Amino acid sequence: MNEKIIRTNPESMPKPLGNYTHITRVPKDAELFVTSGQVGVDMDGNVPSDFNEQVTNTFANIKKVLESEELNQDNIIKVNIWATEEIDWEHLDSKWKELFGSEYPAMTIAYISKLGLPELKIEIELWCAKV
């Protein structure tokens, strides 16, 4: 039996308010990967002051961390996003669609007052599974 990750939105519930799935089912024997929160630092260790530049760098870092374990968007089962200022959804959604296409994992978003370093404005954590 070739089990796979299954994403569903139960018909008995309201449709998701954004690009996410209500339930992500992971097969019993899948290997689990959890990343640290990815932030907007570039390869030289610089963190831009602009929120959207941090978003762009964060998604570049997400892509690199996935590739380091031979994972892709199909392996992502849960995303947690923390931001310290209002998200520019048009910009974030464009980066989101580049990475995820039309398959969306479960997701949580929170606005908080601070992240681990004062210059950080967004942090994204991934939970992944490989079947």
- Asked if residue 85 is part of any domain, the answer here is yes
Residues spanned by the domain of 53: 6-130
Query: How large is the average pLDDT for residues 111-121?
Result: 97
CATH number for the domain harbouring residue 60: 3.30.1330.40
Q: Give residue 79's identity as a one-letter amino acid code.
A: V
8, pLDDT greater than 60: yes
> What is residue 2's predicted lDDT score, i.e. its pLDDT?
60
Distance CA 70, CA 55 (A): 22
Q: What angle do CA 103, 91, 106 make, to 5 degrees?
A: 30
pLDDT in tens, 11-32: 999 998 888 889 999 999 999 9
Average pLDDT, the chain: 92
pTM, two decimal places:
0.89
Q: Give residue 57's identity as a one-letter amino acid code.
A: N
- Asked if residue 1 is part of any domain, the answer here is no
Percent of the chain clearing pLDDT 90 (strictly above):
73
Percent of the chain clearing pLDDT 70 (strictly above):
98
Report how many domains make up the chain: 1
